[in-house]
Structure 1
Amino acid sequence: MNRMVDMERKVTKFGNSLGITMTDALKQIGLNQGDSVLIEVNQSTGEIIIKKSTKVALPNGISEDFMDTLSNVIDEYDQTLRGLKDR
């Protein structure tokens, strides 16, 4: 079941950085200390989306540069690829 949970927090200073605590929210999506996350920022709506990062080991012969290039192409042509999928 997917449900949204509202949590209100105050922005505080952590050293030279600003931050918020959200241990409960991170636990709800299975994040622990040391895990990697993906962060999407939508300036027009003021939304920040945090997603658990899923790391995969690359097969032999596939470089990280190739995967970066592939990711850029997918991002650039996302709508076109989605349109092809629905044909």
Structure 2
Amino acid sequence: MSKVSDMERKVTKFGNSLGITMTDALKQIGLEQGDTVQIDVNQDHGEIVIKKANKVALPEGISNDFFDQLSEVMSEYDQTLKGLKDR
């Protein structure tokens, strides 16, 4: 069973940006400097979810822009794809 940590932080100004520090939380999910994350924003519930991004190695012969094109198609047809999943 996963341990859920409850942390409270203040939003701080970093240069021209706003941010929070959460080194301990990032370490708990195995993130290190330079790692890529996926950020999901749910405005209706006031939530931001940060997930460790899955690293995927492309098979030989597939161009780097393949995932960019795939991402565009998935975004465009997101609701349709979710509907197919639930069938």
Tell me the TM-score normalized by structure 1.
0.79
2:48 partner SS: strand
Q: What is the total number of aligned residue pairs between the two structures?
A: 87
Tell me the TM-score normalized by structure 2.
0.79
* 1:58 shift after superposition: 1.2
The corresponding residue for 2:63 is 63
1:64 partner SS: coil
What one-letter code is carried by the residue in structure 2 that aligns with 1:35? Answer: D
* 1:56 shift after superposition: 1.7
* 1:64 shift after superposition: 2.4
Matches within 5 A, 1:1-87: 1-85=1-85
Unpaired segments ≥5 residues, structure 2: none
What one-letter code is carried by the residue in structure 2 that aligns with 1:59? Answer: P
Unpaired segments ≥5 residues, structure 1: none
Identity %: 76
RMSD value over aligned CA atoms? 2.0
1:49 partner SS: strand
